[in-house]
Amino acid sequence: MNFEIFDSIRKQFEVNALGPLRLTQALLPNLQKGSKIIMMTSRMGSIDDNTSGGSYGYRMSKVALSMAGKSLSVDLKSRGIAVAILHPGLVKTRMTGFTDSGITPKQSVKGLLARIDELNLENTGTFWHSNGEILPWSECRARLLLRLQTTSFLRNLRRPKSFQLTNSRTAIYLD
């Protein structure tokens, strides 16, 4: 392995993870109840969504940023400050080689602004795609969200005779 890669990874952590956290710390005394903090991360920071490998520094730094955003959402909720962790989408920029399969910067910003408008204390700490899709942190978290959503749904039904959750599929049998 080329040891120069570690210096590059450290720099990516400084910029992508520690930079936003330092900025948040500096601005925090000026934030009031109802304020919103936005962490611009990447889907490449999703452990479950990594199907192509590589990009170690970028991926690792974005996971760290997402974790910082999630922790901030827990720590600042009592102060009435909400935190969003946002992925801009695959955007046609120099970074992506102006990919034909990407969206325009204008489309991305429109979606990001919509997510920021929707942000509140009930959904603080959510990892969103600019298109509104809630992104998985990992497969385990996705399964937990499904279980929580299913449990909430079941509370609104009559008592189920049996309930089974297998491989992200739900079977409900009512009397």
User: Tens digits of per-residue pLDDT, 85-113?
Assistant: 998 887 877 776 677 777 788 998 999 99
Q: Does 149 share its domain with 124?
A: no
Q: Does 115 share its domain with 174?
A: no
Q: Does 132 share its domain with 111?
A: yes
Q: Could you tell me the two tokens for 71?
A: 């922790």
User: Tens digits of per-residue pLDDT, 4-54?
Assistant: 688 899 999 999 999 999 999 999 999 999 999 999 988 777 777 677 777
Q: Does 90 share its domain with 32?
A: yes
Looking at residue 154, its pLDDT comes to 45
User: Tens digits of per-residue pLDDT, 54-84?
Assistant: 778 888 899 899 999 999 999 999 999 999 9
Q: Does 131 share its domain with 159?
A: no
Q: Does 109 share its domain with 40?
A: yes
pTM of the complete model: 0.72
Q: Does 81 share its domain with 97?
A: yes
Q: Does 77 share its domain with 12?
A: yes
Mean pLDDT (whole number) for 156-173: 40
**Domain residues for 76?**
4-137
Sheet holding 127-129, edge to edge: 36-40, 82-87, 127-129
Q: Does 98 share its domain with 84?
A: yes
